[in-house]
Structure 1
Amino acid sequence: MTEEEKIKTDAAPVERIVSSGADEEALATNQRDFTGARLGWLLMALCIAYTVFHIGVMNFYPLETWAYRVTHVAGGLLIGFILFSSSNVGGTDASTRFLKLKPLETAIALVAAAGVLYGAAMVGFAWAAWWTAGLVRPPAMVFGTYGVPLIVGTIAAIAGSWFFPRKDRDGVHWSDLLLAIAAVTVAGYILFNVQAIRLRAGTALAQPADFHAALVGALLILELTRRVAGLALVAIACVFILYSFAGPYLPGFLAHRGYTPERFFTYIYTDQGILGDPVAVSSTYIILFITFAAFLQASKVGDYFVNFAFAAAGRARGGPAKVAVFASGLMGMINGTSAGNVVSTGSLTIPLMKRVGYPAKSAGAIEAAASSGGQIMPPIMGAGAFIMAEVTGIPYTEIVIAALIPSILYFASIYFMVDLQATKLGMKGLPKKELPVFKELLKQAYLFFPIVILIYSLFAGYSVIRAGTLAMVSAAVVSWLTPHRMGPRAILGAFELAAKMSIQLVAVCACAGIIVGVIALTGVGARFSTLLLGIAEQNQLLALFFAMCISIILGMGMPTTAAYAVAAAVVAPGLISLGIPVLTAHFFVFYYAVMSAITPPVALAAYAGAALSGSDPMRTSVEAFKFGLAAFVVPFMFFYSQALLMQGSWLEILHVFATACFGVYLLSAAVQAWFFGPLNAVMRVLLLAGALAMIKGGLATDIAGLVIAVGVFVYQKGLVGTRTIARGLD
């Protein structure tokens, strides 16, 4: 080819790979879409008000703790029931509109409306009397009669939503409007009596009206959680609720004296349960950083992250897979959901991975493993770091620093596996002419400023709330340097989006609070700790393995935030009782709660990747488990070496980090059956042993692992044969 022809070829127009909407939230199958509908304006106003309320209270006008958390939960329920249907929606089926109700549905609707509206009217009367006449104590019949009709009406509304769902996406079912009203009614009662309830909830002094509000509140939380997060968390919560009443009939360490419904439900709806640590985090840190993520989405920073990763790593062998490792880690750190991140970034990376030669199951698995790893990547770590700080009392900055080396090891492991698989399969990267221009993207490096400002603010001594707010504002300011300037309309749109994105986490945190409350009330966590101690007397490693299994099982099918909140209440106290430091114990359960998203048989992130790649879900989940294998080993490394959590001298930390990185590389080679060439079964086992020796830490094990690695290398290079090895053993 002549120079002139080459110039003409290079000048030919080429369609470049450019990310667009990588961080946009896809509609759930049961999520309504009111675009263009009148109800959309009302929902938009509610969402904006919900987000602005939280930002305002956190930064400018502090509110009493219970009042703030009750309002947070009630607002989430109100928006959630309007936004999410009880079943899948789609099409234009409007057969359940009021004028077309069937006789049975009409009867249920009348019962539901009568009960909920009567309860709402009584609570509304109490507030009106206080505002207009200063009546602090309304007539006895107001709170004495509102409860039973509200319970009956709420149950009828839930039943109506189950058995007579509405299929059109742009309309709200009558039952959902009633459930939204019931949520406001419960909050209205609790807020009216908040000071008294703080003193009497969970005791013999609790009033029947308190019980009625708490019961309805729990039912609404369970129903919304079912809609936004599936049945797994709801089923576990229901098992714990039943356990509270079945204690006298259970054997062994599970037995307890049992509780009356009045005491149980009034206790659960306090800061020991639903209004406890998970909701404390969701009402502050989670909604703040979801708003930050919404601002990044409005300013198209998410697209920039993905394009930057393509420009930097797209040409390398197996390039799209390496892009998925970087981009999905960044996006997963911010958006807080593994499966959601798979859907958003995987829609671009998975087809490209298949294009360069990755099998479909590997493409889906790599995306799932990388997206799940975003939950353990500082400084945001999804939302788990905030819950950990709230539960343990350890400063957030210490948790972020401790998470640094483990997150590097995890992503290094996935990167090594991706690279080794690409080498084994003889893959190449994408052509340069199809990739974003790296020099052009470097000119927009200022789009990283919001993340830089967040990190700087945290370590400069600002509170997490102030640092998150500064980062959010900086995202808006940075957008003014791009074509996607955030004016008043875009800012309001980001507030609306933040509220919609937060509904799932509000629901699951409130539901997790039920489980945490049961554990605190019954004392089963302490008895579980005793059980772990008993096992540890026989074998401490066995106790850790048992804790790992429980953490993974508790997390299966659940969002990361709820999975960790539950595991932290059930498993972490047992590990601490073994003498394991608090930070290490919580990181131990946190990692396995996160990795439950890629652990068969219930691996939500892997299933999302399989749907995009067109592969078998179970095979994809097994493959994702392989790619994320390092995360299943790293927590045991915490146990053997605290230096991996930045606990110790710098020399010790550096030594452990270096040997662990090499051990992770050996582990990746053993899993992929490729070191400096193909590995047979014996060599893989040897290399795996060397990897575990390097990972464990300690001079003797490091030397042993290094000797094994050198031996396998020498053997693969043909510098020594099996006969030579045999003679050397004589």
Structure 2
Amino acid sequence: MEIEGKHKRKLTGFHAWVVYFVAVTMSLYQIYFLTLGGIASPWVFRAGHLAFALAIVFLISPAGKKSEKNSFTILDALLAICSMVVFAYIILNLEELIMRAGVSPTKFDVIFGIITILLVLEASRRFFGPVLPLIAAVFLLYSYFGHLIHGRFSIPRYSLQRIVSYSFSTTGIYGIALSTSATYVFLFVLFGSFLNHTGIGDIFMKLSMALAGGVRGGPAKVSAISSALFGSISGSASSNVVTTGAFTIPMMKKIGYPGEFAAAVETTASIGGLFLPPIMGAGGFLMADFLQIPYSSVIKAAVVPAILYYIVLFIIIDFVAMKLELKGLPKSELPKFKDILSNDLYLIFPILVLLYFLLIVRVSPVRAGLWSILACIIVSWFKSETRVGFKRLGNILSEGARMAVNISIATATAGIIVGVLQMTGLGLTFSSTLVYLSETSTFLTLVLAMVVTIVLGMGLPITATYITVAAVVAPALIKIGITPIAAHLFLYFFAAVSGMTPPVCVTAYAAAGVAGEDPFMVGIQSMKLGWAGYLLPFMFVFGNSLLLIGSVQQIVMSIVSALVGAFAIVASLYGYGTIQEPSRRLVIRGLFGVGGLLLLHVGALTNIPGFVLVASAILLSRVRSKEQTNIKTMK
């Protein structure tokens, strides 16, 4: 047996079996408590979830570049054991801990609290690098030394015991963020593992190839479709890039797309999967918990902006393919849609089950996820090569747990930050500062919120970024009159697109590695392709009808306006038609650009002239193209 962890530690033999056992046990622990409800306290459930996640991280992630790569060390094993000891301490002292948390901790509470904080910070450092744990450590230092600061950000003096106890509770590390990871995210990551191992994941690529592979610029459109489907389930844009990009990027380069552009398409498409329903990575579940609304309400609000994002990407891909005169793949290289319908269509049954329970029956995401996993097992038995037996089930449970620990560690570390924000009132202070700034301009406040989120996202995982800004920035946006769901989606969109925003652009780096291109230039190209991801949040904040809020007439008008406006802006940026004269091209692009910008703001005063300008640009372009054709014919 071989198990590969983060940072390329490749375990074999006994060490691989140990990790396999811990990971399978974690999955069984999760399934048991989520199905049978055999849990007395949310604290215990979350503590067990974190203990297993910490143990797995210490066993599969080396402490440094010079650490052992093929086996874990004695220190790694001791850290994993310490994680379990903390779990045992919480179980044995649960009732007393609930009474003492944040108020009157004992000496042992403080000791185990410090151990837990250090374990979380070290696991975060190993898995994500130094930025996230460093930010959490700065917040902890602020809670202890903040009374020395003068002015708006001064806080009361807190003892070490209170700080540690507050962090070591359901208001800190074991708070709502970790609860979301343990309750919802783990289950859907496990669902993704079932999809991968039962052949169901393959149908995404087959359908994408059959639907779009043969059309103009086909491979790039295949990349967009497959990455959207995979990205929504995986919850990680970078891992999605590596998984689907290994196939789609070479295919795009093969038909003539520049490597830089191919990597950017994969980056942009994978980023979009993070806010594409029905799963939306971890963000949708976190949002539902923060806002205390049904998960179906989050899906409903996110669906139109997400689809618009991909429509814009498709239009750009098509314009570039037309400009470069790129064709699709030959029919001989494409799967036949008829064969997919007859041989593989049944594989989408688990996805239909998920949608049915989430959107029609509207049960909890946990029940929907469990029914979907059961559906995966059922359809796997239709063919012997995909059948889930004991061996394959063990591999699925092991992989699912190892794939989920990144969210567990990110949410636990973010819990430290959120705990300090709540204890010190820093979140309220920051929110009141933003509210004060908003008196000048709501738009400038949104720009500041965008910048803060993107900068944080350059150093933090998307989950930790969103949790932090949801605690600090979202309350301020809501106070100035922005609809709560719009405020949270605004922040989540920018937490996602930070992955393709230079100079860091983590997702673009992953795609550049696959394509063999300059990561910074791939990031720049990704921003050009994914400009809708930066503009749509402002559109749905100022026009909630894009979130399906309002009358049917308003919603239809806003969607039509956004679609035509997006097309017009792409036509302005990339050129429309075959006009040869530079002056005429400039005029037509100008008409498209101005018309498109007017249409992005819903309202009769802007929409009517916007539609007129876009229609004029199309008419002028076609008339001139016809004239050019006639001249060529006469010659």
TM-score, length of structure 1 as denominator length: 0.82
Q: Is the 8 A contact 2:11 2:69 kept in 1?
A: no
Shift of residue 668, structure 1, vs aligned partner = 2.3
Q: 1:544 to 1:460 in 2, by over 3 A?
A: same
1:687, distance to aligned residue in structure 2 (A): 2.9
Structure-1 separation of matches of 2:107 and 2:614: 69
Quote the residue 1:663 is aligned against. Answer: 565
1 CA distance for matches of 2:93 and 2:138?
A: 30
Q: How far did residue 708 of structure 1 move?
A: 2.1
| Structure 1 CA distance for aligned equivalents of residues 545 and 208 of structure 2 | 31
Q: Report how far residue 475 of structure 1 moved.
A: 0.9
Could you say which residue in structure 2 is the equivalent of 1:145?
none
Whether the 8 Å CA contact 1:525–1:574 is kept in 2: the answer is no
Once residues 365 and 241 of structure 1 are traced to their aligned partners in structure 2, the CA distance between those partners, rounded to angstroms, is 38
Cross-structure match for 2:433:
531
Match of 1:74 among 51, 57, 65: 51
1:405 aligns with 2:316: no
Instruction: Please name the residue that 1:84 is paired with.
Output: 61
1:371 to 270, 282, 288: 270
Query: For residue 192 of structure 1, what is the aligned residue in structure 2?
Result: 92
The letter for the 1-side match of 2:374 is V
Paired residue for 2:616?
Answer: 711
Quick one: which amino acid aligns to residue 530 of structure 1? S
**Shift of the alpha carbon at 1:676?**
6.0
- Please state if 1:697 is matched with 2:602: yes
Q: Please say if residues 579 and 624 of structure 2, whose CA atoms lie closer than 8 Å, have aligned partners that are also in contact.
A: no
Task: Pick one of 254, 259, 281 that aligns with 1:360.
Answer: 259
Contact 1:663/1:691 (CA < 8 Å) preserved in 2?
yes
- Asked if the contact 2:212/2:221 (under 8 Å) is kept, the reply is yes
Counterpart of 2:364 (choices 459, 463, 474) is 463
Separation in structure 2 between the aligned mates of residue 531 and residue 52 of structure 1, nearest angstrom: 46
1: distance between equivalents of 2:587 and 2:135?
43
The Cα offsets for residues 343-400 of structure 1, whole Å up to 9 and x where unpaired, read as 0000000011111111111111110110110011111111110000111101101111
Q: 1:699 to 1:514 in 2, by over 3 A?
A: same
Q: Is the 8 Å Cα contact of residues 577 and 622 (structure 2) preserved in structure 1?
A: no
Give the distance between the partners of 2:138 and 2:589, measured in 1 at CA. Answer: 43
**What is the DSSP-based 3-state SS (H/G/I as helix, E as strand, rest coil) of the residue aligned with 1:378?**
coil
CA displacement at 1:465 relative to structure 2: 0.7
**How far apart are 1:245 and its partner, in Å?**
2.3
User: Per-residue deviation at 1:689?
Assistant: 3.1
On the 8 A contact 1:232/1:556 being kept in 2, the answer is no
Instruction: Give the corresponding residue for 1:479.
Output: 380
- The residue that corresponds to 2:221 in the other structure is 322
Unpaired segments of 5 or more residues in structure 2?
Answer: 626-635
Task: Tell me how far 1:334 sits from its aligned partner.
Answer: 0.5
- Please report how far the alpha carbon of residue 646 of structure 1 lies from its aligned counterpart in structure 2 after TM superposition: 1.0
Q: For 1:30, what is the secondary structure of its paired residue?
A: helix
Q: Does 1:230 align with 2:132?
A: no
Distance in 2 between the 1:313 and 1:75 partners?
A: 42
**Helix, strand or coil for the counterpart of 1:315?**
coil
Aligned partner of 1:337 among 232, 236, 240: 236
SS of match in other structure, 1:370? helix
Q: CA deviation at 1:61?
A: 3.0
Using the TM superposition, name which of 239-248 and 602-611 deviates more: 239-248
Contact 1:509/1:562 (8 A) holds in 2 = yes
1:550-570 Cα offsets, whole Å, 9 max, x none, are 111121132222221111111
Offset at residue 54 of structure 1 (A): 0.5
Q: How does 1:178-577 map to 2 (within 5 A)?
A: 178-203=78-103, 205-443=104-342, 444-458=344-358, 459-482=360-383, 483-577=385-479
Change (3 A) 1:195 1:309: same
Q: Which residues of structure 1 form unaligned runs of 5+?
A: 1-24, 89-164, 721-730
Task: Deviation per CA, 1:27-85: give whole Å up to 9, x if none.
Answer: 456243334x0232222121111101111101113311111111111111112111111
Cα deviation for residue 471 of structure 1 reads: 0.4
Closer, same or farther: CA 310–52 of 1 in aligned 2, 3 Å: same
Deviation (angstroms), 1:615 = 0.9
1:34 to 11, 17, 21: 11
Q: Which amino acid letter does the alignment assign opposite residue 234 of structure 1?
A: P
Distance change >3 Å, CA 66–CA 701, structure 1 → 2:
same
CA contact (8 A) 2:178 2:415 kept: yes
* DSSP 3-state at the match of 1:34: strand
Residue by residue over 1:280-335, the C-alpha shift from the partner in whole angstroms, topping out at 9 and shown as x without a partner, is: 01101011001101110111221221122012111111111000110000000001
Q: State how 1:625-640 maps to structure 2 within 5 Å.
A: 625-640=527-542
Which string of whole-angstrom CA distances, capped at 9 and with x for unpartnered residues, describes residues 83-135 of structure 1? 111134xxxxxxxxxxxxxxxxxxxxxxxxxxxxxxxxxxxxxxxxxxxxxxx
Deviations 1:458-495 (Å, cap 9, x if unpaired)? 12132211110000110111112233111222122111
CA contact (8 A) 1:26 1:343 kept: no
Question: Which residue, out of 610, 614, 624, partners 2:526?
Answer: 624
Amino acid at match of 2:307: I
**TM-score, normalised relative to structure 2:** 0.94
Q: Which residue of 1 aligns with 2:633?
A: none
- CA–CA distance in structure 1, aligned partners of residues 149 and 526 of structure 2: 38
Q: Distance in 2 between matches of 1:699 and 1:314?
A: 40
Q: Report whether the alignment pairs 1:48 with 2:15.
A: no
**Aligned residue number for residue 75 of structure 2:** 175
2 CA distance for matches of 1:695 and 1:360? 32
Q: 1:586-597, aligned counterparts within 5 Å?
A: 586-597=488-499
Q: Which whole-Å CA distance do the structure 1 matches of 2:561 and 2:392 have between them?
A: 48
Residue identity matched to 2:337: F
- CA distance in 1 between partners of 2:211 and 2:156 (Å): 62
Q: Give 1 or 2 for the bigger CA radius of gyration.
A: 1
1:707 Cα deviation from its structure 2 partner: 2.1
Q: What is the distance in 2 between the residues matched to 1:676 and 1:234? A: 54
Tell me the equivalent position of 2:592. 687
**Shift of residue 251, structure 1, vs aligned partner:** 4.2
Letter in 2 for 1:705: G
User: Who is 1:61 aligned against?
Assistant: 37
- Report deviation, 1:260: 2.1
In the TM superposition, residue 167 of structure 1 has moved relative to its aligned partner by 3.0
Equivalent pair of 2:588/2:621 in contact (CA under 8 Å): no
CA distance in 1, matches of 2:324, 2:49: 52
